A and B are shown apart, each in its own frame.
Chain A
Amino acid sequence: MAQIFPRSANALARASVFVALFLAAAGGYALWTLAHSGYVTREGIILQQPVPFSHDHHVAQIGIDCRYCHTSVERAASAGIPPTQTCMNCHNQIWTNAAVLEPVRASWRDGKPLTWNRVNDLPDFVYFNHSIHVAKGVACTTCHGRIDKMPLMYQGAPLTMKWCLDCHRDPVPNLRPREEVTNVLWQPPADLAARQKEWALANHVQSKVSCSNCHR
């Protein structure tokens, strides 16, 4: 009886060591990418909605201000989802019998609310307050992305804790003048950095990284 292992076993044995190392690394990388992918964060994912509402159309083309529909954004934690009423303000004059708007008219007729799928959804243990962010000069687009370029609504940012913290640690680079907050077409001035420092002072912008700022 000869040797237990063929000569090739040596190569195999050594190779297997490196393969194992490689697999471990690859696995780690895969998980990392997955965790940051839209699959997990939902960034950039379009959800089916009862009505194919186009922010692109309403904001970019018609130029309706965010606050026309999201009325409570400056006063409350929730920006507010417009009641059917708001839609009907216009749509009882224009597109009055467009097929796509039937659910809206139905809702108005029977007083049954529309049921949307939430696009920007934070976990329930996170308490986000729109009003304070707006008051400090954080623009809608900073977190929601260029909604004026969204024919169908999708989540414009990862909305992970890390992403929140990046800004909470150093808010200044994300600031605007308060009055420009809802302006999707805002053009930053040349001396942006310098101005942002002024705005930060003016609006008492502080870095807030205490747990209880968001978790209660």
Chain B
Amino acid sequence: MTDLLMPHPAPATPGGSTTTGDCHVEWKKPSAAPVSVNLAAARERLQSRGGATYWRSLEELAETPEFGELLDREFPRFASEWPDGVSRRNFLQLAAASLGLAGLTACTRQPIEKIVPYVRQAEEFLPGKPILFATSMALSGVATGLLIESHNGRPTKVEGNPEHPASLGATDAVTQASVLGLYDPDRSQAISQLGKAATWTTLNQQLTSALTAQSAFGGAGLRLLTGPVTSPTEARLIAALLESYPQARWHRWDPLARDGATKGLTEAFGAPVGMRFDLAKADVVLALESDFLTAGPGSVRYARDFADRRKVGHPEGAAATMNRLYVAESSPTATGTVADHRFRIRPSQLGGIVQALAAAVGVAGVAAPPLDTASAKWVAATARDLAAHRGAALVVAGETLPAAAHTLVAAINEALGASGGTLLYSAPIEADPVDNLTSLVALLDEMKAGKVDLLLVSGVNPVYDAPADLEVAAVFQGSSALRIHHGLHDDETAAYCQWHVPATHYLESWGDARAYDGTVSLVQPLIEPLYGGKTTGEMVGALLGRPTDDAYTLLRETWEGQMGGETFESAFRKLLHDGMVPASALAPSQPAWVGASVSAAVQALAGEPAGGELELALRPDPSVLDGRFANNGWLQELPKPITKLTWENAILLSPRTAEKLGVKGNDVAELTSPDGRKLTGPVWLLPGQADGVATVHLGYGRTRAGKVANGIGFSAYAAQTLASRYGLPSVTLAATGDSAELATTQGHQSIDWMREESEQATERAIVRQATLSEFEQDPHFAHAGAHEGIDVNASFNPGFEYKGYSWGMVIDLNACNGCNACVVACQSENNIPVVGKEQVARGREMHWIRVDRYYQGDVDEPSAIVSQPIVCMQCEQAPCEVVCPVAATVHSTEGLNDMVYNRCVGTRYCANNCPYKVRRFNFLLYQDWETEQFKLQRNPDVTVRSRGVMEKCTYCVQRINRARIPADRDQRQVADGEIQTACQQACPPQAISFGNINDPAAKVVADKKNPRNYSLLEELGTRPRTTYLAMVKNPNPELSA
């Protein structure tokens, strides 16, 4: 009689049933009408879910002390002493309790708990004390250095590695969410042949016979398909493979690959080069259709360097510090929101803009094409500004620009003297860089021609994410080759291969990879592979006839080869400890310019088709990217920047365009390309979107990704063709007559709502901002006009004094770009449940941080878009506390607004009375109590909340205690920076500072002294401990005039 089986996370296919791998599970949507089951049935389902292998592996796991410790109270079960809604029997107990025994006490008899100690215990091991390990995560081959928090052998939290150049201690949202990917119960759990469980040995028998056949004619039928590879080990093994099978071919495919740039730069310099930016040096930056601050290699580091130039304190010197960002983009991105000048532009116009810029900054051989006045003015001003900052200027071209545009941008950067300063060329970080699309097409052609006998597909999913006109599925189907798929999921491509081998998650793997700047980063496992599984290296190893050599051996080989010597042991240990190879960044170089390339590029651009009435832009999704993270509940429920959409993609249109096309928000519409390809999806009105452009995010409409992703959204790859990988210059759109409900956390799906919201935000000075010049005139602009001469904190009450520690936080709105890293970091640190689309649509998302988005100016043409992270303000005079009837939320002596879950009875009065609306209520049983994998992920230092209790941001009180108790033990003060909240630590631009506001030396105190510092809704007299630093924009006078 209870909704025991609240799916975690909830599927978007209501009541539907989905087949995942070899197990078939009925799903019910988490809703007012939950499934009614008894425990036995629950257990049955649980078993039917994972399949035999999964249970075996879990039992094995159960033998290990790590798992034993799990059973210990180390792992918190319930916030309430009652397992809310587990069985009828429990309810009766509970009823009895409230009548009888409970009449006098809150204590109730708990079940006897077990303690399972180690048999042999490691020396350095301290029960309950998390250990940090250095490793790194590769995305499209490019590594970011990480530190992983491990509780009793369970990786629970991802942090950036402060030593690592690509991270400097921060991480982006997908990296934060990657730990959930490790515990994804839908990961494939067994080697399978034609859908039946098989073994590594049998696979290798088949391989050997196939390979012996191949060796006869130099492996002419052997093909390898992987993503981009930067890993020295993988590169070494593949090289070895190609050596022993000279006729074999190595193909690459990655939907996120920056082919345009690779090709364009190859054109410009005659050979592939690596390129990275140094934004610390950049005074003026122009981004063309590029979200370089939150997406793509190095974005975390870029965000940091960029923001450091905008964290201005006092006006003097501010002008010198502050950089200026111009962004021209078709659809608003996080990068666009921090721009000083954001220019809405259609993708088809970019070519012209680039040429005009090139001409304006004096690139030889480029003539300015005719532009409309607005663009012309904008380009002229921007170009002048860029030119004026020669040597400190930079133009960043987005990956969706055509290769020719990249060539021209390279030329522009040359003209601006960027190279060697704001922009560094080097050898490519990728081993044997190729044009992914060409490479994939080549493979498919050969498969069609029947030239392929043995194909290993490792870690890529072309059947789902390749352009539709390649008809990969059909080609695979038609091919006679022995196809082996290796990946985390038994996915769309696996369905078209005879063999599937589960891959290890990076947290289970040994390996290495290069960072955006070439720094070699080590990958070491935090946990035994949950379901066995192989690394790409091991797969190639198997092809090399070394099926038994594990990834560790292969990795050692590489580095023994590199470093050698008898000191190797210690040296290698140090590598693993640091997580990277010191000073392995690729040396900057100045490649020679190929003169002809410019004119070639100009011609190529001339060939680009002109934009029609309505253009289609296909872009990776901000949360799930190309779809590889689609089965990650945290990312699905993450409100996408700007749109605040969750759980699906949509056809994004500007209000004007929608009006012109006669569609409204939430209408289901059909996009038709000239060659008759169709996309059907809900329309979403997005202020800030360029008129005449329909943007659709990739990564949805998965069919074999898992319970989370299957069937939500629609796949935009269906409209993708060889010719139009990033969109179509001309499409038509027509409403189908249906409408859809989309789950958004802000804006409430109506343009009027957004208008009112934004108007009110401005009237209420929620986000305070000024231009640099205004700031120089009045450093205290953030307080101008606001209740002058009134002490908003005046009170009849003496109030409380906070001696000793007194925690406070400052969020710099000038640094925040709304990238969402903090939201996921908070979710994984604080055991925050995923509630599912339907609950989000009802306004019941549980995130402790939300990033509010406001438009400035008219929503039809917003002058700017701002993001404002909202956490619990920890008010000294908290409205929530006074109204709680049971004193479940009260103030600590350190000024924290403590939320005591186990005392909470859930009247929700506190949430009503919170002016910042940061409190979240467990309306239903949102926590998944039964999926073993998710239990492994939870943070044992944070109570897992159950149904019926309120929760909210605690300033990561568990981290405070983790630092304060040892300090107290050693009779010393907690040093500044010793405590970092999860959001603060993850934040790429480091917009958040936290610390003891009684410590004059603390950074947070310095920030609170910053004239830009203001408290939200201060007139309510709540005395928030969290304050904000007002925004200062640095517009180009020429344009703002």
Q: Encode B98-124 as 1/0 by CB contact (under 8 A) with A.
A: 001101111111101111111111000
Q: Encode A122-133 as 1/0 by CB contact (under 8 A) with B.
A: 111101010110
- Residue of A28, A41, A216 near B941 (CB, 8 A) is A216
B68 adjacent to chain A (CB < 8 Å): yes
Chain B: minimal CB distance from A101 (Å): 15
B88 adjacent to chain A (CB < 8 Å): no
Within 8 A of A (CB), among B382-400: none
Q: Give A76 to B900 CA distance when docked, in angstroms.
A: 24
Q: Give A20 to B77 CA distance when docked, in angstroms.
A: 42
- Residue of A80, A107, A123, A215 near B127 (CB, 8 A) is A80
Residues of chain A within 8 A (CB-CB) of B971 are 203-204
Within 8 A of A (CB), among B646-688: none
Q: Give A160 to B107 CA distance when docked, in angstroms.
A: 8
A84-B119 contact in complex given A117-B114, A129-B965, C-beta closer than 8 Å? yes
Residues of chain A within 8 A (CB-CB) of B116 are 113-116
Stretch at the interface among B3-11, B888-896, B997-1005: B888-896
A83 touches B965 (CB 8 A): no
Chain B: minimal CB distance from A15 (Å): 26
- Residue of A83, A111, A216 near B121 (CB, 8 A) is A83
Residues of chain B within 8 A (CB-CB) of A47 are 112
B115 touches A115 (CB 8 A): yes
Point out which of A107, A132, A210 has the most chain B C-beta atoms below 10 A from its C-beta.
A210
A197 adjacent to chain B (CB < 8 Å): no
Q: Give A146 to B116 CA distance when docked, in angstroms.
A: 24
Residues of chain A within 8 A (CB-CB) of B969 are 131-132, 135
Chain A residue at smallest Cβ distance from B956: A216
B119 touches A112 (CB 8 A): yes
Residues of chain B within 8 A (CB-CB) of A31 are 100-101, 103-105
Q: Give A113 to B118 CA distance when docked, in angstroms.
A: 6
Residues of chain B within 8 A (CB-CB) of A26 are none
A169 adjacent to chain B (CB < 8 Å): no
Residues of chain A within 8 A (CB-CB) of B127 are 72, 76-78, 80-81
Q: Give A143 to B933 CA distance when docked, in angstroms.
A: 36
Q: Give A211 to B121 CA distance when docked, in angstroms.
A: 34
Q: Encode B109-150 as 1/0 by CB contact (under 8 A) with A.
A: 110111111111100001111000000000000000000000
Residues of chain B within 8 A (CB-CB) of A113 are 65, 68, 116-119
Q: Give A215 to B954 CA distance when docked, in angstroms.
A: 11
Stretch at the interface among A32-40, A52-60, A90-98, A179-187: A32-40
Chain B: minimal CB distance from A165 (Å): 13
A76 touches B68 (CB 8 A): no
Point out which of B119, B892, B971 has the most chain A C-beta atoms below 10 A from its C-beta.
B119
Residues of chain B within 8 A (CB-CB) of A117 are 112-115
Q: Encode A183-216 as 1/0 by CB contact (under 8 A) with B.
A: 0000000000000000000011000101111011
A16 adjacent to chain B (CB < 8 Å): no
Chain A: minimal CB distance from B956 (Å): 9
Q: Encode B56-91 as 1/0 by CB contact (under 8 A) with A.
A: 000000010100100011111111010000000000
Q: Give A156 to B1002 CA distance when docked, in angstroms.
A: 44
A142 adjacent to chain B (CB < 8 Å): no
Residues of chain A within 8 A (CB-CB) of B117 are 80-84, 113-114, 116
Q: Give A84 to B119 CA distance when docked, in angstroms.
A: 5
B22 adjacent to chain A (CB < 8 Å): no
A116-B115 contact in complex given A76-B127, A125-B76, C-beta closer than 8 Å? yes
In the complex, number of A-B residue pairs with CB atoms less than 8 Å apart: 163
A149 adjacent to chain B (CB < 8 Å): no
Within 8 A of A (CB), among B897-915: 898, 900-903
B101 touches A40 (CB 8 A): yes
Q: Give A125 to B106 CA distance when docked, in angstroms.
A: 13
B901 touches A125 (CB 8 A): yes
Q: Give A124 to B74 CA distance when docked, in angstroms.
A: 8
A211 touches B892 (CB 8 A): yes
A122 touches B126 (CB 8 A): no
Chain A: minimal CB distance from B886 (Å): 12
A75 adjacent to chain B (CB < 8 Å): yes
A210-B108 contact in complex given A127-B961, A204-B971, C-beta closer than 8 Å? no
Q: Give A106 to B969 CA distance when docked, in angstroms.
A: 39
A212 touches B961 (CB 8 A): yes
Chain A: minimal CB distance from B656 (Å): 50
Chain B residue at smallest Cβ distance from A47: B112
Q: Encode A14-34 as 1/0 by CB contact (under 8 A) with B.
A: 000000000000001001101
Residues of chain B within 8 A (CB-CB) of A80 are 117, 126-127
A40 touches B77 (CB 8 A): no
A211-B965 contact in complex given A40-B101, A111-B119, C-beta closer than 8 Å? no
Residues of chain B within 8 A (CB-CB) of A160 are 107
Q: Give A61 to B989 CA distance when docked, in angstroms.
A: 62
- Residue of A35, A116, A161, A212 near B898 (CB, 8 A) is A212
Residues of chain A within 8 A (CB-CB) of B961 are 127, 129, 212-213, 216
Chain A: minimal CB distance from B132 (Å): 16
Chain A: minimal CB distance from B69 (Å): 10
A154 adjacent to chain B (CB < 8 Å): no
A76 touches B902 (CB 8 A): no
B119 touches A118 (CB 8 A): no
B892 touches A210 (CB 8 A): yes
Residues of chain A within 8 A (CB-CB) of B893 are 208, 210
- Residue of A42, A122, A215 near B900 (CB, 8 A) is A215
Q: Give A14 to B496 CA distance when docked, in angstroms.
A: 88
B942 adjacent to chain A (CB < 8 Å): yes
Chain A residue at smallest Cβ distance from B942: A216
Q: Give A208 to B105 CA distance when docked, in angstroms.
A: 23
B968 adjacent to chain A (CB < 8 Å): yes
Residues of chain A within 8 A (CB-CB) of B943 are 124-125, 215-216
B963 adjacent to chain A (CB < 8 Å): no
Residues of chain A within 8 A (CB-CB) of B900 are 211, 215
Residues of chain A within 8 A (CB-CB) of B941 are 127, 216
B575 adjacent to chain A (CB < 8 Å): no
B968 touches A204 (CB 8 A): yes
B883 adjacent to chain A (CB < 8 Å): no
Within 8 A of B (CB), among A146-161: 160-161
B721 adjacent to chain A (CB < 8 Å): no
Q: Give A111 to B119 CA distance when docked, in angstroms.
A: 6
B957 adjacent to chain A (CB < 8 Å): yes
Q: Give A211 to B943 CA distance when docked, in angstroms.
A: 13
Q: Give A213 to B896 CA distance when docked, in angstroms.
A: 11
Residues of chain A within 8 A (CB-CB) of B109 are 39-40, 42
Chain A: minimal CB distance from B940 (Å): 9
A212-B892 contact in complex given A111-B119, A132-B965, C-beta closer than 8 Å? yes
B958 adjacent to chain A (CB < 8 Å): yes
Chain A: minimal CB distance from B895 (Å): 10
B120 touches A125 (CB 8 A): no
Residues of chain A within 8 A (CB-CB) of B63 are 112
- Residue of A34, A75, A124, A127 near B78 (CB, 8 A) is A124
Residues of chain A within 8 A (CB-CB) of B79 are 125
Point out which of B73, B891, B960 has the most chain A C-beta atoms below 10 A from its C-beta.
B73
Q: Give A111 to B971 CA distance when docked, in angstroms.
A: 40
A78-B128 contact in complex given A83-B121, A113-B117, A210-B894, C-beta closer than 8 Å? yes
28 CB contacts below 8 A, A to B, read A31-B100, A35-B101, A36-B105, A40-B105, A41-B107, A47-B112, A78-B74, A80-B126, A80-B127, A82-B117, A84-B120, A85-B119, A85-B121, A108-B119, A113-B65, A114-B116, A115-B114, A115-B115, A118-B115, A121-B110, A122-B73, A129-B965, A135-B969, A210-B891, A210-B893, A211-B890, A212-B892, A215-B901
7 closest Cβ pairs, A-B complex: A35-B105, A210-B892, A31-B104, A81-B117, A83-B118, A78-B127, A211-B898
By a beta-carbon cutoff of 8 Å, the part of chain A in contact with chain B is 28, 31-32, 34-36, 39-42, 47, 72, 75-78, 80-85, 107-108, 111-118, 121-125, 127, 129, 131-132, 135, 160-161, 203-204, 208, 210-213, 215-216
Beyond A83-B119, A85-B120, A211-B892, 4 extra complex contacts between A and B, CB < 8 Å: A80-B117, A118-B114, A127-B961, A215-B902
